[in-house]
């Protein structure tokens, strides 16, 4: 499965780590889910930024397994 596809149908929960592949720059960034519902995720990215992603959209995130 491509890194830009959501790997399963599970909705990420608060505290889950996700990775987002940014097609424009070709870089993958990681962050922690701060809030989650059926429509969107609010994420605190490792670089200090925060933002939201739409569930089921073209965001291209995947849940990162615990290390």
Asked whether residue 1 is domain-assigned, the answer is: no
39: CATH? 2.30.30
pLDDT of 60: 79
4 occurs within a structural domain = no
- Residue 31: give the domain boundaries: 17-64
Q: Quick check: is 9 in a domain?
A: no
Q: Domain tally for the chain? A: 1
Q: How many CB atoms lie within 10 A of CB 48?
A: 6
Q: Residue 3: what pLDDT? A: 40
pLDDT of residue 2: 41
In-domain check, residue 39: yes
Q: What is the mean pLDDT of each successive set of 10 residues along the chain, which is 67 residues long? A: 47 91 85 92 94 78 81
pTM: 0.74
Asked if 43 contacts 32 with a C-beta cutoff of 8 angstroms, the reply is: yes
Residue 43 lies in a domain: yes
d(Cα 39, Cα 65) in Å, to the nearest integer? 22
């Amino acid at each position: 499965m491509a890194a830009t596809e959501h790997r399963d149908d599970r909705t990420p929960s608060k505290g889950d780590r996700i990775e987002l592949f940014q097609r424009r720059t070709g870089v993958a960034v990681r962050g922690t889910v701060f809030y989650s519902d059926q429509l969107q995720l609010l994420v605190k990215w490792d670089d200090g930024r925060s933002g939201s992603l739409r569930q089921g959209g073209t965001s291209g995130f995947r849940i990162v397994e615990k290390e």
